[in-house]
Amino acid sequence: MSFKTVFHYISYIQYPLMLIAIYFVLSPYFNGIEQIKENPNLIFKDLNLMLVFMGLAISFSTLQDTTKTQNKFSKRIWESPRKGKIALIYLCALCLFLIIYGLYGFFNESDNMLSELSLGFTVLGIGMIGMLKTAIEMFEHHRKDKNTGYNNGNRCTSL
């Protein structure tokens, strides 16, 4: 078994981590709304934990095989040069926003709500950087215009 295969299997840890993140989103409903009324900061604590586990799950998902697409929707995006570039720009902007917003909240101690969520936003942003790297690799593997004769230096002269 190669190292690449081992990492592909490790990437499946993303699913239990996503379930844990979903638990923290739904836990205010499980615990009851009365408990949130008594202590409103509990919801921000749960949201922060959800963001942390979501960032960890996304980090593990980046270990998957980038030579394969998981569904037709992602295949259409990564095969199209235009759609792929738009997706990469969007992911880059999202990473930048999450990390800057998380660090701003971490250093801004005046806003208690934002400081509660800052670690989660930062971890999610770091996880999204890994996702951006994986998206770049998928874009390189699946582009339809990548393997044309012109791009390989073989111009079609028999027209």
Residue-wise pLDDT for 71-99, tens only, equals 788 788 888 889 889 999 999 999 999 99
- Is the CB of residue 61 less than 8 Å from the CB of residue 131? yes
Q: Which sequence spans correspond to the domains of the chain? A: 3-142
Query: pTM score > 0.85 for this model?
Result: no
Contact partners, residue 47, CB within 8 Å, separation at least 6: 24, 25, 116, 117, 120
Q: How many CB atoms lie within 10 A of CB 120?
A: 25
Q: How many CB atoms lie within 10 A of CB 24?
A: 19
**Measured distance between the N- and C-terminal CA atoms of the chain, rounded to whole angstroms:** 48
- pLDDT for the residue 69: 66
Q: Is the pLDDT of residue 28 over 70?
A: yes
Q: Is the pLDDT of residue 52 over 90?
A: yes
Long-range contacts of residues 33-39, Cβ cutoff 8 Å, at least 24 apart: none
- pLDDT for the residue 86: 93
Tokens representing residue 55 in the block: 């960032």
- Is the CB of residue 150 less than 8 Å from the CB of residue 81? no
Q: Is the pLDDT of residue 103 over 60?
A: yes
